[in-house]
Structure 1
């Protein structure tokens, strides 16, 4: 059984995940957020990234037992897909955000066959838009996508709806509700802060 608590604690202590309800961050979408997550930093922490790829491998074995190919979503999902593929001793591919504008115009790099079962990896899921787009590109080329895993998900209702509409199974390793609950348990935030942070999760557009 996976113990993700140490990963959550490392993300906070290494300031890969930062919480600041009094001085919110601004997402590209315009949402004011009490959390900033830069999971690209995880590649610079060998012990942490090892915990992550081993946990992701276990997550895939548990939820997608028929997986035969690990796919990374460009760009942040690529290094983690490489480590997971090595850990699981499976082939790896990666999916570009758009087809190449030269050569063979491929969007999928690596060897894959129509009989393969692909699991895609991304680092962070907010609404799921980019990884769903990548999945559709893979499916449009005639390949099977069993589902998606990520290191972290905000757990927005929009993402749940989007994956459901895409008929795509999604399983995150870590979620925002788990994060703030752990920080409350560790006394890194107080009850009133926890309530504010929880309200943002339920309605990020109107949060103040």
Structure 2
């Protein structure tokens, strides 16, 4: 499954250049760019990502899985679906970028409650900032964040930064694995 997901990511989501031509959110220029959405919204990519992420959290004794919208959303839904297929149900949830100002004022969308043990996920980690923001917001809603999973680690310190907040943090795929596959095409 992992190798097939790497191949799909390389075809749909990964760009590489010998010169730094891709502008990142930070404003810094990079030699590679990863946009997981074309892969995680593809039926096969969603299937693979969901199963791999579910396998990464299945033993964590969690009630829910989610992260900052929109990058985490398709992965959370796919992992929740895979959890049901494996008779080990885990609920998906989404964390808003902006807090609602009407109704029940919450950061979290989904059937989750204070005290629930959860895993925070993200599609890509560079510095880990969006994953850390999701962790902080889940905790502010009273959830116990026990695991973090990143689909693609750009290997630029993000995973290590996230581990300061959630020691049990892992990546499914690394930048080096994508570059190796990209060069093999």
Structure 2: runs of 5 or more not aligned: 85-89
Question: What residue is the counterpart of 2:61 in the other structure?
Answer: 66
TM-score, normalised relative to structure 1: 0.78
Q: Does the 8 A contact of 1:72 with 1:80 survive in 2? A: no
Match of 1:109 in 2: 109
CA positional deviation for 1:49: 1.8
The C-alpha deviation readout for 1:50-69, integer Å capped at 9, x for no partner, is 111111111222xx431221
The answer to whether the 8 Å contact 1:163/1:169 transfers is no
Per-residue deviation, 1:114? 3.6
Quote the Cα distance in structure 2 between the aligned partners of 1:135 and 1:23. 31
From the CA coordinates, give the structure whose radius of gyration is larger. 1
Q: Distance in 1 between matches of 2:159 and 2:140?
A: 22
C-alpha distance in 2, partners of 1:176/1:50?
21
Give a deviation string over 1:151-195, Cα, whole Å, max 9, x none: 1110212x24422332443211111022223345x2x4xxxxxxx
TM-score, normalised by the number of residues in structure 2: 0.87
Match of 1:180 in 2: 179
Distance 1:143 1:23 in 2: 39
In the alignment, the residues of structure 2 paired with residue 92 and residue 120 of structure 1 have an alpha-carbon distance, to the nearest angstrom, of 10
Helix, strand or coil at the partner of 1:151: strand
Tell me how many residue pairs correspond in the alignment. Answer: 180
Change (3 A) 1:83 1:161: closer
Provide structure 1 residue ranges, at least 5 long, that are not aligned to the other structure: 189-208
Could you tell me how far apart the structure 2 residues matched to 1:10 and 1:30 are?
Answer: 27
